[in-house]
Amino acid sequence: MKIIYCEDHRLHFPQAELSGGQFVTPFERPSRVEYVLNRLKERKLTQISAPDPVDMKPVQALLDPGYLIFLETAWDEWKAAGMEGEIIAANVPARGMHMDRIPDNIDGKVGYYCHASETAMTQGTWAAALSSVASAQTAQRLVADGADSAFALCRPPGHHATADQYGGYCFINNAAVVADMFRASGAEKVAILDIDFHHGNGTQALFYDRSDVMFASLHGAPQDAYPYYLGYADETGVGAGEGFNLNYPMPPGTPYDVWREALDDSIAKISAWGAEALVVSLGVDAYKEDPISFFKLESDDFTDAGRRIGRMKLPTVFCMEGGYAVEAVGINTVNVLEGFKDA
């Protein structure tokens, strides 16, 4: 399996994440990628290359133009306004306020384009986010050109980012861009399977009214887990998209046998629909030791999950999402890929 990775991810490393009322070192940190790279090498998966330059057209086609300009210019505006620290959203439009009037003040703009203030932006965030989506795009082109599968070692992750909001460590929705590129390269039906512990709210929102991209997400129930305000089972799509959004919220302590039933159900639905290409939002934070999650998967379970996904025999692009038990992130991620290849 070809692996695409860009070292520019390191340009995004905020000092601080707001967690439990304190600033802590972000859980989503550069070393996560190093653990995955080391494990890939240990397992002799060495077909690793850098991405081609980012192609902004598919990104612009999917996302809000004002949001993209914001991401590109926010740091300079923040500094020009005399802000001393990293960009952190301190205000967001709440119930009863205007949801569609964009302030001129950068502090107001940040809140408008952000949905979760744990996520800081820095000088290098935009470049890192572009390098992440570039890896996803290069992986997509390899698969569209005939490879069975490819793994984009994306960082920062993407599945919480919507058309016009960042948060949950995500800025550009890599998996969504890949799905749209599969549509443009001829696939009529594209599925996105999100096995990250957290609900892929951004991906759901981007395709909620569409019948050409099916979205399935296995995640911690919103009553108990970020992103809290989306991810219920009764969110099934709207208009033409009705029936094409599948949510599998699960409670604290969920073990693999329960999680696997959800996985099998999602796989059965994607297969029965006749998807022609698959994008996997590959987070490994369902792992039992993950510091910010509450499922109970063991490392071997990720191999089994990969095998089940591989049995679909679909052209597949994996996009890295979350996973914060850093020492196990490499093992669990590569287990999914090896299970997939072994199917």
Contact 286, 295 (CB under 8 A): yes
CA distance 232 to 200: 11
Asked if 180 is part of the footprint of Zn ion (rule: CB under 5 A), the reply reads no
3-state SS class at 331: helix
- Known active-site residue 160: yes
Site string for ligand OKP, 73-112 (x = CB under 6 A): ----------------------------------------
Asked if 198 is part of the footprint of ligand OKP (rule: CB under 6 A), the reply reads yes
Radius of gyration for the alpha carbons in the chain, expressed in angstroms and rounded: 19
Minimal distance in Å, beta carbon 169 to ligand OKP?
Answer: 5
Footprint (CB under 6 A) of ligand OKP, residues 145-174: 157, 160, 168-169
CA distance 217 to 252: 16
Footprint (CB under 6 A) of ligand OKP, residues 296-325: 321-322
Footprint (CB under 5 A) of Zn ion, residues 276-295: 283, 285
Q: Residue 81: phi, psi to the nearest 5?
A: -80, 0
Sign of the CA dihedral running 91, 92, 96, 101: positive
Q: Provide the CA 297 distance to its chain's centre, in angstroms.
A: 19
CA distance 250 to 39: 29
CA distance 177 to 181: 6
Q: Which does 78 bind (CB under 5 to 8 A by kind): ligand OKP, Zn ion, none?
A: none
Q: Binder to Zn ion among 227, 322, 330, 339 (CB under 5 A)?
A: 322
Cis ω for the linkage preceding 227 (within 30 of 0): yes
Minimal distance in Å, beta carbon 289 to Zn ion?
Answer: 14
Q: Which does 310 bind (CB under 5 to 8 A by kind): ligand OKP, Zn ion, none?
A: none
CA distance 160 to 164: 11
Minimal distance in Å, beta carbon 15 to ligand OKP?
Answer: 15
Footprint (CB under 6 A) of ligand OKP, residues 113-152: 118
- When the beta carbons of 143 and 250 are compared against ligand OKP, the nearer one is 250
- When the beta carbons of 158 and 322 are compared against Zn ion, the nearer one is 322
Residue nearest ligand OKP, Cβ-based:
322
Return the amino acid letter for 169: Y
Minimal distance in Å, beta carbon 12 to ligand OKP?
Answer: 14
Phi-psi label, residue 239: left if phi above 0, alpha if psi -120 to 50, beta otherwise: left
CA distance 179 to 224: 29
- When the beta carbons of 173 and 335 are compared against ligand OKP, the nearer one is 173
Binding region for Zn ion (CB under 5 A): 196-198, 283, 285, 322
> Under the rule (CB under 6 A), what is the footprint of ligand OKP?
19, 118, 157, 160, 168-169, 196, 198, 226, 283, 285, 292, 321-322
Active-site residues, by number, are 160
